[in-house]
Structures are given as structure tokens and as C-alpha cells.
Amino acid sequence: MQYDIQKAKELIRSGGGIVGIEFGSTRIKAVLIAPDATPLAAGSHTWENQLVDGIWTYAMSDVFSGLRAAYQSLAEDVQERYGENPRSIAALGISGMMHGYVALDRSDELLVPFRTWRNNITQEACHELTPELNFAIPQRWTVAHLYQSVLEKQPHVPNIARLTTLAGYVHYKLTGQFCVGIGEASGIFPVDARTLDWDRARIEKFDKLLAARGAPLKALEILPRVLPAGREAGRLTPEGAALLDPSGTLQAGALLCPPEGDAGTGMVATSAVRPRSGNVSAGTSVFAMIVLDRSLAEVHEEIDIVATPDGRPVAMAHSNNGSSDLDAWLAVLGQAGKALGADVTPNKIYEKLLPLALEADPDAGGLLSINYVSGEHITGFSEGRPLFVRTPDSKFTLANLLRSMYYSSLCAMRMGIDILREKEGVVIDELRGHGGFFKGGTIGQRMMAAALGVPVSIPASAGEGGAFGMAVLAAYALDQKGQSLPDFIDALLAGSVGEPASPDPKDQEGFNRFFERHRRGLAIEREAISALR
């Protein structure tokens, strides 16, 4: 059912709207949808992480001021479109960047600044945990940050009463319920696809490791409850409503679904939750998700094994570094435009400059970009130094510069995909893309198809996928209609996915040449990190 303005007004007035909010790396996004997933309104708030004492973090004051700002932006959009100010909503879902480390004491006070997924500072912990648990534990996972804190005897460890993620923490503040969705849980600690809960055998092993290191902690006592998609995960409390909307307009009582990570919301937004389906999310970070129909034969440190929001195993090839370096270059080019007297806005920069990448040489003219703003787990870097290198005979043009930036953002993820295909025989027929990388028309789609060698399609919700996917999960918790999650999503999003773009053979060959150049160039990156402290 499509909602005209009058129907939308009635839905909003009756409190039947459904809200999804996602804490992304650069934007907090909020969307309002109807129960049939028709988008009705949207809002957002821009923010940025900070490097404080060597830790990538966001201040918790910024988390909640940003939450309020994103909701206010949504409410203003509702008012402008429909002349209504939402007094109540039927359901709400909170999503955030997966992984990271939010440690609380018994008074629910933050023990250390929030550590985001971007921190690659847990190498020692991962090297010990991966063989002990017989499970690949990446550096950004919550359990890796916990164990690294234990290894370093950080003074906050004995005081940990609760341990969660950003989405889990915000959900807790809104509902009083300490829980996470199983997809989000799978980036904290390994989960069991059969029981839809923490992997109890590995929990037992982990507790023994903690005890051997003298840490007075039990994992099940500090970790949140795990819930699959479709379960009610609490209600918006009066305190939560005031936190979300200090004006007092929004009433308490909305149902909340289990909080999820951006990986899970991306799978939902692209209708890629069935076995052998896949999606690729590209923005500040870049990752591909392949829903598995069988377990992998080996443990690969470069590959995460996580879960869909309904608990199916997923292989994730995750790169910490996506568009940040490209964004920085575009900002500098914009400054050059302003210095020359041009009327320059950020939107105009992206609109006018990014399409030039399609005019570039297929291999970016011999240029080399390494976009490591932060560390990169797949290639073994704990920190980064963005680099741009060319030889005297490289074709140094603006078009080639831009294509090199696009290509660079996909190289680490490509290494993970190669492991899945070459060592595990995983077949990828098509990927569905979402995130800011795909907002500039067909450019991102074409670059991604060339990098991964598979057709890439774009759902209608590509630009705002995470918040929209979270709203769909909230709709599923509100009324499952007797369907499995894949059937529910397919019914809602039928016909919303565009035709896939197949790889252009010249682009594909060009990317492969760039990819090999990028692989060799990592030796320069290591020297740069050593030299530039």
C-alpha cells in the first residue's frame, strides 16, 4: 500500500509510524516508515569521531545530543511534510556501528571512553584468543578490547559490571533492557546459530582465560542478553522518551526491537538475509557480507563469522578504511575551487568531480593511493598513514586521482573476498550495495563491480540503508505476519532493487592491475608508519 499525504497524516496522528535510528560513522540517521515500509520522513545529524590519547572515540555527550538532534530533524521533516508533530510511535529500533567497547560500572557509569570499531589496538589479545577459541577474533570486536584490557591490567577491569556496544548502550538508556540483537551480539563474542545465544562452550573457555589472567569477571554476568529478530526488546520508558525528545512531545510506550549493528541493518535493507545472498556496505568503512549455506572449512583471521538478525551464519570481509581519504581529498579540491572564486558547496563538489572517475584510465594511470586513515585488520596494520604515490611516468590527472581513491577504498575488502572464493570455494552470484559510496549514481556501482568481479545491484534505499533497515526490523517485531524474516523482508521490498551492473572487462582488468600495485605499495605504508610518528 502506498501512502498519500492524508493517509500518512492519519498514520502519524494515530501513532502508527515506525522509526529506525542508526549511529553511523559520520551521520546519525533517523527514518520514519509506514508498516508496509513506505518511507515517510527522514532526519540526520552530522558528527565525527576523535582521536584522543591514541583512541578513536565519540564523547557520550555527543552520542545523546546527536540522538536528540537526529530525532528533532526527523520530527521537523514530519512537520514540514504533513503538518504533524509525532506524539507517539508504534515501534522503534536503534542501530550503530558494530563492535567497539562500552564498559559500565555497577552505577552504569562509563569506566573508560567509548572505544570504537576503528581501534586496531588489540593485536596481542587476538593472537591469543583466536587459537584458544578456535574462532577468528578481529581486533575491533568487543571481546578483543576486553581481553586486551585484561592483558594490560587496565585499572577499570575489576569494576566492569556491564559490557556492550554503542547500539546496546543507547537501547539500554531508552528502555532499561540490557540486550542486543543476535547480529550485533556476533560482533561482541561468538554466537551459536542453533541456540540463538552466546556460544556457551567458548564462553566457558573464555572464562578460564580470564581467571588465568586474574580478572574477576564472568562473561555471562557482564554481557547483554541475546535476542533474535522479531522479539520484543522492551518499551520506550518515560525517561527514554525524554532523552530522545526533550520537548516532551513524544510519549513513552513504543515497542523496541533488539538493537542491531550496521551489518545487520544493511542485510535487511538490501533483502540479503537468505543463504547464498550477499551485500556490500560502503562508506567510512567497507565490508561485504555473504550469508553462508555451510560452515567454512578453516578459521581465517581475515574473515569475521557473524550472524544475520535472525541468527544465520555470515562471512564478513571487513575493511576499516573506506571513503575518509577520498572525502579529505575532495575537501582540499573544494578549497582550491573557492580560492579561484568558484561557488563551491560540498554537494556540488561530489556532484561535479566524482563522475570524472569514469573518464579515467582503467588502472588509474599508474597512480597509487593507500587510504589508511586508521589501522587495517585484513592487512595487519594497527594504525594508518594515508599515502598518495606516483612514478615520473604515471598519468597524473584529476580523473585518475579520483579513480585511484575509489579503487584504494576497496582493496582490503577484495583481499578478504579472495580468501572466501579461492580457499573456501564460496560462490558469489551477485551483491547488493548500500551506503554513501553508492549515492553518486552509477559510479560506485561500476567501481564495486570491477573490484569484486561480480554484478552489483542497488536497492532504492541504498543511500539511507541502515536506518531504513532498522525500521524494517522494528516493523517485524511489531507484527511478523506469521513469516520468517527473509519472507517478511522480501514481501516488503519486492521490486525495490534495481538491475545489477555487470563488471566491465576493461574496468575489471584495470582494477586488478591497481590491486597488485596496491598490494606491493603496502611496504611503503609500513615505512611511513615507522617514519611518521
Between 442 and 42, whose confidence is greater? Answer: 42
pLDDT per position as a tens digit, 197-221: 999 999 999 999 999 999 999 999 9
Give residue 419's pLDDT.
Answer: 95
Q: Identify the CA nearest to 267 among candidates 338, 358, 183, 340.
A: 183
Give residue 473's pLDDT.
Answer: 98
**β-bridge pairing 39-46 and 27-33:** antiparallel
Per-chain mean pLDDT for the chain: 94
Give residue 461's pLDDT.
Answer: 61
Between 444 and 157, whose confidence is greater? Answer: 157
**Distance from C-alpha of 481 to C-alpha of 432, rounded to nearest angstrom:** 26
Cβ 322 vs Cβ 282: under 8 Å: yes
- Measured at the CA of 406, the angle between CA 401 and CA 408, to 5 degrees, comes to 90
Q: Any idea which of 34-43, 123-132, 490-499 has the lowest mean pLDDT?
A: 490-499
Stretch 228-250: mean pLDDT? 97
pLDDT per position as a tens digit, 306-353: 999 999 999 999 898 999 999 999 999 999 999 999 999 988 999 999
Q: Identify the CA nearest to 133 among candidates 188, 190, 213.
A: 190
Burial (CB count <10 Å: 0-12, 13-18, 19+), residue 276: middle
Instruction: Band the pLDDT of 442: cuts 50, 70, 90.
Output: confident
For the chain, percent of residues with pLDDT exceeding 90: 84
Q: Which amino acid is at 189?
A: F
> What is the residue-wise DSSP string for 206-231?
HHHHHHHTT----HHHHSPEEE-TTS
The topology (CATH level 3) of 324-458+503-531 is: Nucleotidyltransferase; domain 5 (3.30.420)
Cβ 325 vs Cβ 369: under 8 Å: yes
Give residue 354's pLDDT.
Answer: 93
Q: Is the pLDDT of residue 2 over 70?
A: no
The CATH 3.30.420.40 portion of the chain extends over 1-92+239-247+257-270+460-496, 324-458+503-531
Instruction: Band the pLDDT of 234: cuts 50, 70, 90.
Output: very high
Q: Which amino acid is at 385?
A: R
Cβ 202 vs Cβ 167: under 8 Å: no
**Distance from C-alpha of 47 to C-alpha of 325, rounded to nearest angstrom:** 17
Classify each residue of 225-244 as buried b or exposed e, where b means 16 or more C-beta atoms within 10 Å of its C-beta: bbbbbbbebbbbbeebbebb
The winner for highest mean pLDDT among 285-289, 438-442, 458-462 is 285-289
- Cell numbers standing for residue 115: 572505544
pLDDT per position as a tens digit, 90-147: 999 999 999 999 999 999 999 999 999 988 899 999 999 999 999 999 999 999 999 9
pLDDT per position as a tens digit, 461-477: 655 578 999 999 999 99
Q: Is the pLDDT of residue 1 over 60?
A: no
* Distances 478 to 89, 167, 311, 334, 494 between C-alpha atoms, Å: 11, 19, 19, 46, 20
Instruction: Band the pLDDT of 372: cuts 50, 70, 90.
Output: very high
Q: Identify the CA nearest to 201 among candidates 213, 210, 211, 191.
A: 191
pTM of the entire structure? 0.85
pLDDT per position as a tens digit, 375-429: 998 898 989 999 999 999 999 999 999 999 999 999 999 999 999 999 999 988 8
pLDDT per position as a tens digit, 415-437: 999 999 999 999 888 899 887 78
CATH number for the region 1-92+239-247+257-270+460-496 comes to: 3.30.420.40
